[in-house]
Chain A
């Protein structure tokens, strides 16, 4: 089971969970397992063609999966996926 760090904006879709575990041997499979467990995350993560939304960055540990093999990047049980949407709050 890989760990997935859930950013604040997606926590409403995961019942407030900040970190969840999901099965899968690659990034796509782990994120799909997350979407199966928490259906509201699906449209936030994936575009209509099944790829990652361009405004969501996903990191395997500290590396952007786009510079690895994207959704095909292999994931091990000790790995952590970080979902990073852009934030713009400045505390105004």
Chain B
């Protein structure tokens, strides 16, 4: 015997647990998963603070991404409490969620009670298309995309590592990309520096990179620094950024960057490559080790072949640069386990990766102290610095 839709909903409500907005208000940001089951257009004009978005039409396919733990307490809501009641029934009866409630009266009653509503950034229709694959990932979603668009990332070098990193961060919608590079595009760069093109040989790399980034994603604001980082400019340049991506080709600049980033407490996503092998780690000041904890001293020039021209497989900086870009995105959206306190080694010929632990050095000359105690004249200095640089030419 068929029943009316209203009668059906009424019966469903008798089989589920409902919760009043006043109780939900106490639970916001309190470890309870609050899930908005309305359509995207409804969610985008305002939702409960911290609510995850799983439209009812996608409930079965996406709820596990938003709430992987079936024993976690879940509160669903919609506009008035009907759709969320039906969704709660599905989660409980069909998907095995153990602790599901539906908020009475939906967001309408929530607003009537005067509780806070979070209004997400308004994406243009073009942006909704462009970032649609991010929106589909619960780990990114609207909130994560907002963070990406608000993020400022500085790339040291638009070379082998910087090229792929810049392209993918631009594509991901990182809102501000700074690029430091004093070089011009050379035809020998094009084997690996994929942001540049044959017709831009001779053009400054910062200009060439900007052109490519703008063509890929006009949302990105490119800030160009056609200079070399040194002790006189590093603090000014990196100060404004949330994350620095290090792919520089020499030790003095790596130490200088480390010391400046520790002082300013800016995380550095660092990679290095040689031949067929790469290293990758994230140095997050005071949360994990710094570069000096890992390498207190650079090797002598004969063991530091970055000082001269060396071979590198063209694909390798692509691989390592994209691992860097991945770590950058993770840091921005706050997802996953960042590569802090760990060093990843990649051997392209063997097709193997090795992970090593990196510990904070309690006696590190830089990060064992407060940022305010690190003086200008200490920055970038290491034992035998002058001999090192003389030997390196």
Q: Is B357 touching A91 in the complex (CB atoms < 8 A)?
A: no
Q: Which residues of A contact B277 (CB under 8 A)?
A: 7-8, 87
Is B159 a contact of A88 with CB atoms below 8 Å? no
State whether A86 touches B160 (Cβ < 8 A): no
Inter-subunit contact B157/A18 (CB<8 Å): no
Let me know if A88 and B304 touch, CB within 8 A.
yes
Interface centre among A64, A82, A87 (most CB of B within 10 A): A87
Distance A92 CA – B253 CA, assembled complex (angstroms): 14
Residues in B with CB closer than 8 Å to A82 are 345, 354, 356
Query: Contact flags (1/0) for A62-92 with B, using CB distance below 8 Å?
Result: 1110010000000000000010111111111
User: B32-40, B104-112, B289-297: which one contacts chain A?
Assistant: B289-297
Chain A 17-43, CB within 8 Å of chain B: the 1/0 string? 010000000000000000000000000
Measured CA separation A54–B358 after assembly (Å): 15
Q: Give the docked Cα–Cα distance between A6 and B305 (Å).
A: 15
Range of interface residues on chain B? 35 or more
| B299 neighbours in A (Cβ, 8 Å) | 9, 53, 55-56, 85-86
Q: How many A-B residue pairs have CB under 8 A?
A: 112
**Total number of A residues with any Cβ neighbor in B under 8 Å:** 27
- Collect the chain B residues with CB atoms within 8 Å of residue A87's CB: 272-274, 277, 279, 306
A58 to chain B, nearest CB (A): 10
Say whether, besides A5-B354, A59-B356, A90 and B297 are in contact (CB < 8 Å): no
Please, how many angstroms separate the alpha-carbon atoms of A7 and B295 in the complex? 15
Known: A9-B299, A18-B349, A55-B295. 5 other contacts (CB 8 A): A8-B275, A8-B277, A85-B299, A91-B192, A92-B159
Enumerate chain B interface residues (CB-CB to A < 8 A): 157, 159-162, 183, 192-193, 247-251, 254, 271-277, 279, 294-300, 303-306, 310, 312, 316-317, 343, 345, 347, 349-350, 354-359, 383
